[in-house]
Amino acid sequence: MGIIDDIKDTLSKAVFSPSTLLSGRGGLHMAQIILSVVTFILAAFRGGSSHTYWNYAMFTWAFCPIMTLIITIIEMFKLDVILDLFCMNWADFTTGMAMSSTLMTVSVAITYANFYACLKCPYGWIVSIFAILCGLVYTLEVVKDKFLEKKKASYLAALPGFWKVMEAFVSCIIFISLTGYRDKPALILCVVAYIIPFPILPLIIATNILKKLKKCLPFNLDRFVFIFLVISVLLYIFAAIVWPIFMFKNNPRPSECPPSFCIWAIQFMVTFMTYVNLILFTLDLIFTLLGICGFKQT
């Protein structure tokens, strides 16, 4: 009867509450949605591009406000109370999503300004300014959740989930920067090494967020993650050695390599991010091993 009473009490709290929009959190969400949509429209009006950085920017300015809108609607109808009881830590999920959106919008603001803002491109500066404001309001939510309100984190906004979010984010930067590898088998193997860990990361994140699903697994998730991380580290060690050797052999940096567009600089970005992800996977592996051994991850 205790469980049934808890369920009835939880369902009674799930009522429409438009006052959510008037709170500080609701105001931030409205600002995030409006700024993201305005930035998306301005960038689309400026004109399209076949460049992967532009596609990634447009995806970010569409994905982030959609997720923010979904979170706002769920909180407005108090459905987060039900989700919190049955399947996930809602505060942890929303803080984690804010962290992910911050990474995406801030990185997009930097790359868009680098490629499309110039002295003779005032419209590019307008879009860049809105993109920076967009990244700023998402950053404010992270600061508010993590430092001002000090929300309790169980996974996504804690260290284990933070590593996974960063690894997935850096992988995305690598993928949108890949170029000049198709006629080189060694570099194609590096691309395969980048691809293998990537789809498993969101599965690990989703499984840890969904508490009920995690309990139903027929195996120990922490040990699976440990094996996954060992394989990922080995793959990235391979890529960290092979990619720079075969990419930059007989391919020196051009004398003219403007920061706004230079194929060599983009290829170097892949190399740099490969080492960044190798460090992230290695740190994640160390902390996961410590967790298996009984040390608390904070």
pLDDT band at 226 (very low <50, low <70, confident <90, very high): very high
Instruction: Write out pLDDT tens, residues 26-37.
Output: 889 999 999 999
What is the mean predicted confidence (pLDDT) over 140-155? Answer: 77
Here the tokens at position 84 are: 């919190």
Phi, psi (deg, nearest 5) at residue 296: -80, 130
Between 295 and 89, where is the model more confident?
A: 89
- The 8 Å CB, 24+ separation contacts for 210-217 are 210/87, 210/88, 211/87, 211/88, 211/89, 212/86, 212/87, 213/87
DSSP secondary structure of the chain: -HHHHHHHHHHHH----GGGGGSHHHHHHHHHHHHHHHHHHHHHHH---S-HHHHHHHHHHHHHHHHHHHHHHHHHTTHHHHHHHHT--HHHHHHHHHHHHHHHHHHHHHHHHHHH-BTTBHHHHHHHHHHHHHHHHHHHHHHIIIIIS----SSTTSHHHHHHHHHHHHHHHHHHH--S-TT-HHHHHHHHHHHTTTTHHHHHHHHHH-HHHHHH-SS-HHHHHHHHHHHHHHHHHHHHHHHHHHHHTT-PPPS---TTS-HHHHHHHHHHHHHHHHHHHHHHHHHHHHHHTTPPP-
Percentage with pLDDT > 90 across the chain: 41
Task: Reply yes or no on whether the pLDDT at 146 is more than 80.
Answer: no
Spatial neighbors of 283 by CB under 8 A, at least 6 apart, are 163
Place of tokens 């987060």: 80
What is the mean predicted confidence (pLDDT) over 57-82? Answer: 90
Task: Reply yes or no on whether the pLDDT at 13 is more than 60.
Answer: no
Task: Reply yes or no on whether the pLDDT at 217 is more than 80.
Answer: no
Here the tokens at position 113 are: 């300004």
Instruction: With CA atoms as reference, report the closest residue to 282 among 222, 232, 208.
Output: 232
Q: What is the pLDDT of residue 20?
A: 59
Instruction: Write out pLDDT tens, residues 243-260.
Output: 999 998 887 877 776 655
pLDDT band at 295 (very low <50, low <70, confident <90, very high): low
Q: What is the pLDDT of residue 21?
A: 62
Q: What is the pLDDT of residue 1?
A: 47
Here the tokens at position 207 are: 């499984």
Write down the pTM of the prediction.
Answer: 0.84
Contact 69, 94 (CB under 8 A): no
Mean pLDDT score of the chain, rounded to an integer? 84
The alpha carbon of 187 is separated from its chain's Cα centroid by a whole number of angstroms, namely 25
Q: What is the pLDDT of residue 270?
A: 93
How far is 17 from 74, CA to CA, in rounded Å? 10
pLDDT band at 152 (very low <50, low <70, confident <90, very high): low
In sequence order, the β-bridge partners of residue 121 are 118
